[in-house]
Structure 1
Amino acid sequence: MNNKLFTFLDPLLGYIDNGRFFREPFRWLYVIFAVLNLLFPIFILAKVIEMDFFKYAEGKLILAFILLFIILCAGAWGSYLLWMNRKNKLKEAIQEENEFIAIPVVSHLTQTMGEWLGLYIGVIGTLCSVVIAIFAANEIRYILPIPSGMFFLMPIYGFLIVVFARLLAELYRALAVIANNTRKLTKTEAKAEAKLEDIEDIEEI
């Protein structure tokens, strides 16, 4: 009975130590992000309908919104595929024999968030800006007094976001690899020293 009293937390602690405690919730988090991306265009459409946009807007603005909605749907589907693809690869980022587990998970999330944000700003943002510039340049000018040329810098912004997010993620990953390899090397040296001591003891006998 005393043994059970002192060891009943062992299964939970083992679940944490082998990485599943970090990996499984993050996999579900990736699924949630993927589903939210699919629902985003529907949310936008519902808001536009609620505002009676189609009743009062001009024909060219309605056409512009239809094109924007198609772009958003394409971006939502691409984002869904991105999050689901990275969810499937999350398991590869965590090895059960590694002691440092949280760092690779955070690194993987950082990289994925950067890829997703870069996709939206660099691709979806650029396409939406082109549609707005063509169909609603005069209307948007009064709402956002920003030079139209600024919108076409979005591909550069998106690319830089992906690059710097990947850089940050690789720095995290490098720290984890160095720490895990150092730990393994220390264990290997300890085992080698123990074997050497055993050999010396046998020779003394």
Structure 2
Amino acid sequence: MESKFFTFVRPYLDYIDSGRFFRQPFCWLYSVLAVLNLLFPLIVLAQSCRLGVFHAGGKVVIAFIIAFLVLALGGWISFQIWWNRKNRIMQSSKQGDDFIAIPVFSDFIQTAGEWAGTWIAVVGGLLSLLLSLILGDDMFLMNRALGFGFLDFSFMGIVLFPIYGFLIVIVARVVAEVYRALAAIANNTKKS
């Protein structure tokens, strides 16, 4: 029975089976995350202006400007990570593969780990260094103004944040490679 009544859903199923059903939304997600990372420093700036950071005194204002520049750098690096990886996700699986969702999700895990680890290492390490030098004991005020009151940007953070970031990148990469290897083994075993 090849009537339209029984086969009208076939194009949809073919779209799912081709892998584009999984790859295209993740490509859009990567684009949205890239843009959000560009907007984040501006949101912090707006929030800080609303909280009156620029009325807090010279040392705090200078520290905030430096912190904003570090956040802008982190936002730009993060934008580039998500934007550059969005093109790679479209090649994460090939036509004819049976296991097409695993490589896409694996790529997301890897990219999210690269983003989080880089953000923590770069922004955390630089903020710890610069704010410790400028603010000293007044750093708690800056942390609260930036919305990072739960973090300890001290001299210890200069060492720990880059280590944390590195470990996050490594763990995410290992997890992603395990998933990718499982999908590759499964796809190659089926063809044998």
Distance in 2 separating the partners of 1:52 and 1:64: 14
Report the Cα offset of residue 16 of structure 1: 0.1
Aligned to 1:179: 186
CA deviations 1:147-204 (Å, max 9, x no partner) are 934302111111111011000000000000011011111xxxxxxxxxxxxxxxxxxx
RMSD over aligned Cα, in angstroms?
1.8
Distance in 2 separating the partners of 1:70 and 1:115: 21
Which of 137, 142, 150 aligns to 2:156? It is 150
Compared with structure 1, are the counterparts of its residues 145 and 95 closer, same or farther at alpha carbon in structure 2 (3 Å cutoff)? Answer: closer
Q: Rg bigger for which structure?
A: 1
Q: Which amino acid aligns with 2:64?
A: F
Q: Which amino acid aligns with 1:114?
A: G
* Runs of at least 5 residues in structure 1 that lack an aligned partner in the other structure: 186-205
| Aligned positions, number | 184
Contact 2:99 2:186 in 1 (8 A): yes
In the superposition, the TM-score normalised over structure 2's length comes to 0.90
Which of 163, 167, 180 aligns to 2:174? It is 167
Report the Cα offset of residue 140 of structure 1: 2.8
Residues 32-43 of structure 1 aligned to structure 2 (within 5 Å): 32-43=32-43
Aligned to 1:10: 10
Residues 119-158 of structure 1 aligned to structure 2 (within 5 Å): 119-140=118-139, 148-151=154-157, 152-158=159-165
Contact 2:110 2:173 in 1 (8 A): yes
- Is 1:31 aligned with 2:31? yes
Helix, strand or coil at the partner of 2:12: helix
Compared with structure 1, are the counterparts of its residues 165 and 3 closer, same or farther at alpha carbon in structure 2 (3 Å cutoff)? Answer: same
Report the Cα offset of residue 112 of structure 1: 0.1
Report the Cα offset of residue 146 of structure 1: 5.3
Report the Cα offset of residue 119 of structure 1: 0.7
Q: Which amino acid aligns with 2:179?
A: Y
Aligned to 2:97: 98
Contact 2:128 2:153 in 1 (8 A): no
Compared with structure 1, are the counterparts of its residues 145 and 128 closer, same or farther at alpha carbon in structure 2 (3 Å cutoff)? Answer: closer
CA deviations 1:8-53 (Å, max 9, x no partner) are 0000000000000001000000001001000000100000111122
Distance in 1 separating the partners of 2:153 and 2:34: 33
Helix, strand or coil at the partner of 1:99: coil
Aligned to 1:197: none
Distance in 2 separating the partners of 1:69 and 1:27: 29
